[in-house]
A and B are shown apart, each in its own frame.
Chain A
Amino acid sequence: MRAAIAALAFALLTSSVHAQERPPASELPAAVAEEQIAVGSDYRGSQITVFGVNPDRRGRGDVVVVVRGPTESVTIMRKRQVFGLWVNGDPVTFSEAPTFFAVLSNRPLRSIANAQAIWRYRLDPAASAELASAVPAGADPSAYRAALVQLRRAQNLYQEHSGRASSGRSGLTTYQGGLFRAIVRLPANAPIAQYNADAYVFRNGELISSQRIPINIERVGIERRIHDLATQASWLYGVLTVLLALGAGWLAAFLFRRT
Chain B
Amino acid sequence: MIYLPIAEMPVNVALILLVSGAVGFVSGLVGVGGGFIMTPTLMFLGVPPPVAVATGASQIAATSFSGIMTQTRRKSVDWRMGMLLSIGGILGSASGVWLFEQLLRLGQLDLLISLLYLVLLSSVGGLMLAENYQIWRGRKTRGVSILRRPARTIAHTLPLRMAFPRSGLYISVIPPLVLGYGVGALSGVMGIGGGFILIPAMIYLLRMPTNVVVGTSLFQVLIVSSLVVILQSARTQTVDLVLAALLMLGGVFGAQLGALVGARLNNEQVRGILGALLVAASLFFLYELVSPPAERFVLAGGLW
Tell me the bound Cα distance from A240 to B242 in angstroms: 12
- Among B205-245, those with CB < 8 Å from A are 226, 229-234, 237, 239, 241-242, 244-245
Assuming the contacts A249-B62, A250-B65, A251-B252, asked whether A241 and B107 have C-beta atoms less than 8 A apart, the reply is no
Tell me the interface secondary structure of chain B in the complex.
helix
Does A8 belong to the interface (CB within 8 Å)? no
Out of B70, B108, B244, which one reaches A253, CB within 8 Å?
B70
Interface size class of B (residues with CB under 8 A): 35 or more
Binding site for B on A (CB under 8 A): 39-45, 72-79, 84-88, 91, 93, 143-144, 147-148, 150-152, 188-189, 191-192, 219, 222-223, 226-227, 230-231, 234-235, 237-242, 244-246, 248-257
B239, A252: Cβ atoms closer than 8 Å: no
CB-nearest residue of chain B to A94: B301
Does B9 belong to the interface (CB within 8 Å)? yes
B252, A77: Cβ atoms closer than 8 Å: no
A244, B107: Cβ atoms closer than 8 Å: no
When distances are taken between beta carbons in the complex, the residues of chain B under 8 Å from A253 are 65-67, 69-70, 256
When distances are taken between beta carbons in the complex, the residues of chain A under 8 Å from B241 are 226, 230, 237, 240-241, 244
Of the candidates B239, B241, B259, B297, the one having the most CB atoms from chain A within 10 angstroms of its own CB is B297
B252, A252: Cβ atoms closer than 8 Å: yes
Of the candidates A226, A227, A248, the one having the most CB atoms from chain B within 10 angstroms of its own CB is A248
- Among B263-304, those with CB < 8 Å from A are 289-293, 295-302
B239, A76: Cβ atoms closer than 8 Å: no
When distances are taken between beta carbons in the complex, the residues of chain B under 8 Å from A77 are 107, 297-300
| Nearest CB in chain A: distance from B18 CB, A | 17
Tell me the bound Cα distance from A76 to B295 in angstroms: 12
Out of A44, A144, A150, A237, which one reaches B10, CB within 8 Å?
A44
